[in-house]
Chains A and B, each alone.
Chain A
Amino acid sequence: MKIKHLLAGLFILAGVGLLITACNSLLQTRWSEEELASLRTLWIGSLQPLPTDPSNKYADNPEAAVFGQKLFFDTRFSSNGKVACGTCHLPELLFQDGKPLANGVGTTDRRTMTIVGTAYSPWLFWDGRKDSQWAQALGPMESAVEHGGNRTLYAHLITEKYADEYTALFGSLPDLSYLPLNAGPVRDTEAAANWAAMSKQDQETVTRIYVNMGKAIAAYERHLLPGESRFDQYVEAVLNNDYETANTILTSDEIAGLKLFIGEANCTNCHNGPLFTNNDFHNTGVPAAQGLPEDTGRAKGAQQVLADEFNCLSHYSDAQPDQCSELNFLVLDEHQQERQFKPPSLRNVFGRGPFMHAGQFVTLEEVLHHYNTAPAAPAGHSELEPLNLSEEQLAQIIAFLKTLDGSVDADLKWLTSP
């Protein structure tokens, strides 16, 4: 009798176990209404049509995009003839470089961000010190450690190499032959002195050419948009209530990671919307990068964008002042903005290490460990609270992040040097 009881007990236990497993898998693959709403917001199908850029009247001009693509890959626009935008924004690496810090003619203090999808960003760079794609493109071109060039060098190059394309788009090119070969508001003392010696009118003429280069490059970059990932295919199937298909697209670990991502792990506080970024700025206590100067992030970036000669309210912008709503309602609060950085899009994040604004973390495991333990910020106040997730849960989130891999949604002609 005892054996019978024992067997019966085992059967009951096994039954209960099976029931729990069944419930678990059911819970894992069925989503609540609230979760479904969250999944829909992250789905690429929710991506709004490309927003207009009122500050750039050439933004949607096809010839400007073709011209911009040539400029993007032309290494002559640098002090050593070896650096183009495409040097750090490599098409084969989804328009970033995989390095902790960018290498142009020197080394920068920040990691290269991808260009894919930046047409949706109200703020550019990790600190948002630029407010349009065209203004962003002009920053590295006269940075002493990136392209290392200057405005007259570029204006002369346009006159020599691209006169026809330029004039077809922007009108006639004035005679610039009497201007110095190197002049611009740059760190190089000789070029800076040459610039200071030029008349205001000449400075304005040369800067106009420089601005038009930026606007053409932006017209090209607007074509680089994120493509569909396995995650998007999964959500589409789930939204169609086709769980049978959905469960063949993602594994149970990936689904468990997704559930944590939109729930307990609080990832969607910052990584929300179809681009997995809210395009705002946050201090998440990321450690300071060793050997680099102090980086105050958005605290400085907000001041810079307001003072930027190429911002939406500048006379180089094609926008009406009331179209510059981000700048008009800009937050300036050094204390609150101390060491805030922009959350990058998580699309294609899996193979995109090293991570954070100066490549402080080599692996996603390190990133997740940081969020799980929420150390204090080196300066300012971290918004994080410890998550206390298990190693298994962290691994599930990483498994989910891999499902965000996808190609660039662009005509193939845009994905190589012309």
Chain B
Amino acid sequence: MNQPHSKSKLVRIAIWAAGSLLVVVALYLIMTSQVMAKMNGEVPADLDYSTTRTSDNELFRVSYVSSQDIVPVNQMHQWTLHIETADGQPVEDATIGVDGDMPQHGHGLPTRPQVTKNLGNGDYLVGGMKFQMGGWWVMDFTISADGQTDAVHFNMMLK
């Protein structure tokens, strides 16, 4: 009569121990992920990393090509920006403001990139491109053409 009783007690202890362990592990995981999230700020899971994007008010369709196959860290390089109207016409006389930052770090670029040449056919050379660390970067271009201004943003995850 004693044995079944002690066996079921053992089973209960085992279940209880396993349960507590699970709770502890779950709590630990939640806490560390929260600490990490707080430390680094979350990178939104659904970020659009495409190199062709539409401006905020859909006035322009903009794409970029880097002078290096992969956008490098710690290396000065250039971008070629191509700007079209929503219906696909190249924008040839745009004034372009360039800025960039790391949303999680609260700092910007180590350089002050600028458009150095209007290449024609809606293409613009942007010089002074440099990123000083890996991670999530956002490049912002403010484009003014034909009396209208709109901004376009490119997300990058640099390594």
In the complex, the answer to whether A273 meets B106 with C-beta atoms within 8 Å is: no
Check if A2 is an interface residue, CB within 8 A of chain B: yes
In the complex, the answer to whether B74 meets A278 with C-beta atoms within 8 Å is: yes
In the complex, the answer to whether B76 meets A326 with C-beta atoms within 8 Å is: yes
Besides the known contacts A268-B133, A282-B107, A326-B111, 20 further A-B residue pairs in the complex with CB atoms under 8 A apart: A5-B10, A34-B159, A38-B159, A41-B73, A269-B135, A270-B132, A272-B134, A278-B110, A280-B132, A326-B76, A328-B128, A329-B111, A329-B113, A330-B111, A331-B112, A336-B107, A383-B106, A385-B39, A386-B39, A387-B39
**A residues adjacent to B (C-beta < 8 A):** 1-2, 5, 34, 37-38, 41, 264, 266, 268-270, 272-273, 278-282, 325-326, 328-332, 336, 381, 383, 385-388
| Residues of chain A contacted by B105 (CB below 8 angstroms) | 269, 383
| Residues of chain A contacted by B6 (CB below 8 angstroms) | 1-2
Q: How far is the CA of A331 from the CA of B111 in the complex (A)?
A: 5
A280 vs chain B, min Cβ distance (A): 4
By beta carbon, the residue of chain B nearest A6 is B10
| Residues of chain A contacted by B112 (CB below 8 angstroms) | 329-332
| Residues of chain A contacted by B109 (CB below 8 angstroms) | 331
By beta carbon, the residue of chain B nearest A343 is B132
Mask, B38-78, CB within 8 Å of A = 1, is 01100000000000000000000000000000000110100
Q: How far is the CA of A281 from the CA of B107 in the complex (A)?
A: 11
| Contact of A279 with B159 at beta-carbon distance under 8 Å, contacts A5-B10, A331-B109 already known | no
Per a CB cutoff under 8 Å, which of A268, A281, A336 touches B134?
A: A268
In the complex, the answer to whether B74 meets A329 with C-beta atoms within 8 Å is: no
| Contact of A269 with B133 at beta-carbon distance under 8 Å, contacts A329-B111, A329-B127, A336-B108 already known | yes
Q: How far is the CA of A75 from the CA of B6 in the complex (A)?
A: 89
In the complex, the answer to whether B133 meets A278 with C-beta atoms within 8 Å is: yes
B77 vs chain A, min Cβ distance (A): 10
Q: How far is the CA of A281 from the CA of B111 in the complex (A)?
A: 11
B109 vs chain A, min Cβ distance (A): 7
Q: How far is the CA of A34 from the CA of B76 in the complex (A)?
A: 23
In the complex, the answer to whether B10 meets A279 with C-beta atoms within 8 Å is: no
By beta carbon, the residue of chain A nearest B13 is A9
| Residues of chain B contacted by A266 (CB below 8 angstroms) | 40
Check if B148 is an interface residue, CB within 8 A of chain A: no
- Listed from nearest, the 10 A-B pairs whose CB atoms lie closest are A329-B128, A280-B132, A329-B111, A278-B132, A280-B110, A269-B133, A331-B112, A325-B76, A329-B112, A278-B74
Q: How far is the CA of A268 from the CA of B105 in the complex (A)?
A: 13
Which one of A38, A325, A329 has the highest number of Cβ atoms from chain B below 10 Å of its Cβ?
A329
B1 vs chain A, min Cβ distance (A): 13
| Residues of chain B contacted by A264 (CB below 8 angstroms) | 36
B43 vs chain A, min Cβ distance (A): 13
By beta carbon, the residue of chain B nearest A269 is B133
Check if B8 is an interface residue, CB within 8 A of chain A: no
Q: How far is the CA of A268 from the CA of B135 in the complex (A)?
A: 10
Q: How far is the CA of A266 from the CA of B39 in the complex (A)?
A: 10
In the complex, the answer to whether A273 meets B135 with C-beta atoms within 8 Å is: no
B45 vs chain A, min Cβ distance (A): 17
Q: How many residues of B contact A (CB 8 A)?
A: 28
Per a CB cutoff under 8 Å, which of B39, B74, B135 touches A279?
A: B74
B99 vs chain A, min Cβ distance (A): 11
Q: How far is the CA of A264 from the CA of B106 in the complex (A)?
A: 18
Per a CB cutoff under 8 Å, which of B73, B106, B114, B159 touches A329?
A: B114
| Residues of chain A contacted by B30 (CB below 8 angstroms) | none
What are 28 A-to-B residue pairs whose CB atoms are below 8 Å? A1-B3, A1-B6, A2-B6, A34-B159, A264-B36, A266-B40, A268-B134, A269-B105, A270-B133, A272-B74, A272-B134, A273-B73, A278-B74, A278-B132, A280-B110, A280-B132, A326-B111, A329-B76, A329-B112, A329-B114, A330-B111, A330-B112, A331-B109, A331-B110, A332-B112, A336-B108, A383-B106, A388-B35
Q: How far is the CA of A360 from the CA of B71 in the complex (A)?
A: 37
Q: How far is the CA of A383 from the CA of B135 in the complex (A)?
A: 15
| Residues of chain B contacted by A273 (CB below 8 angstroms) | 73-74
In the complex, the answer to whether B35 meets A325 with C-beta atoms within 8 Å is: no
| Residues of chain B contacted by A34 (CB below 8 angstroms) | 159
By beta carbon, the residue of chain B nearest A277 is B74
Mask, B64-98, CB within 8 Å of A = 1, is 00000000011010000000000000000000000
Q: Tell me the residues in window 106-159 of chain B with beta carbons closer than 8 Å to chain A beta carbons.
A: 106-114, 127-128, 130, 132-135, 159
By beta carbon, the residue of chain B nearest A48 is B75
B96 vs chain A, min Cβ distance (A): 15
Mask, B1-41, CB within 8 Å of A = 1, is 00100100010000000000000000000000001100110
Q: How far is the CA of A1 from the CA of B6 in the complex (A)?
A: 10
| Residues of chain B contacted by A282 (CB below 8 angstroms) | 107
| Residues of chain B contacted by A328 (CB below 8 angstroms) | 127-128
| Residues of chain B contacted by A329 (CB below 8 angstroms) | 76, 111-114, 127-128, 130
Q: How far is the CA of A94 from the CA of B34 in the complex (A)?
A: 43
Q: How far is the CA of A236 from the CA of B113 in the complex (A)?
A: 36
Per a CB cutoff under 8 Å, which of A37, A270, A383 touches B159?
A: A37
Q: How far is the CA of A272 from the CA of B133 in the complex (A)?
A: 7
B42 vs chain A, min Cβ distance (A): 14
